[in-house]
Amino acid sequence: MVRTPLTPEEHGLGDRLGGLMPAARIRRSVAEVAASAGVSAGTVPEIGTGRAPTPAFVTVAAPADALGVSMDDLAGRCVPTGVAEGLAEAS
């Protein structure tokens, strides 16, 4: 399967998401976070460095939960403004 190249905005979202994870992981190793989230040890740094700019929801939700980062906080910081506003109106 060939992936469509990411737009600069998608790369920016990955960078913002990546910036949240290491800050929350301060006193825990990658292996500890991965084990408590039930994801591979390679997944956490991929998200943390923005190398996974469009990860699946579960791929983000599990480590975020393990780190105590709320999905609302992630969405508020990482979802494009127009999309975030539309999500808020739908709920």
Instruction: Please count the structural domains in the chain.
Output: 1
The answer to whether position 13 is within a domain reads: yes
Confidence of residue 5 (pLDDT cuts 50, 70, 90): confident
The answer to whether position 3 is within a domain reads: no
The answer to whether position 36 is within a domain reads: yes
The answer to whether position 55 is within a domain reads: yes
Confidence of residue 16 (pLDDT cuts 50, 70, 90): confident
The answer to whether position 1 is within a domain reads: no
Q: What does DSSP assign to residue 74?
A: H
% of the chain with per-residue pLDDT over 90: 2
Average pLDDT of span 21-30:
73
Show Cβ contacts of residue 21 under 8 Å, excluding neighbours closer than 6 positions.
44, 47, 48, 63, 64, 67, 69
Whole-model pTM: value is 0.63
- For the range 37-45, what are the long-range contacts, defined as Cβ-Cβ under 8 Å and sequence gap of 24 or more? 37/62, 37/63, 37/65, 37/66, 38/62, 39/63
The domain that holds 82 is classified in CATH as 1.10.260.40
Question: Structural domain of residue 47, as residue ranges?
Answer: 8-90
pLDDT in tens, 42-76: 888 887 777 776 778 888 888 888 888 888 887 77
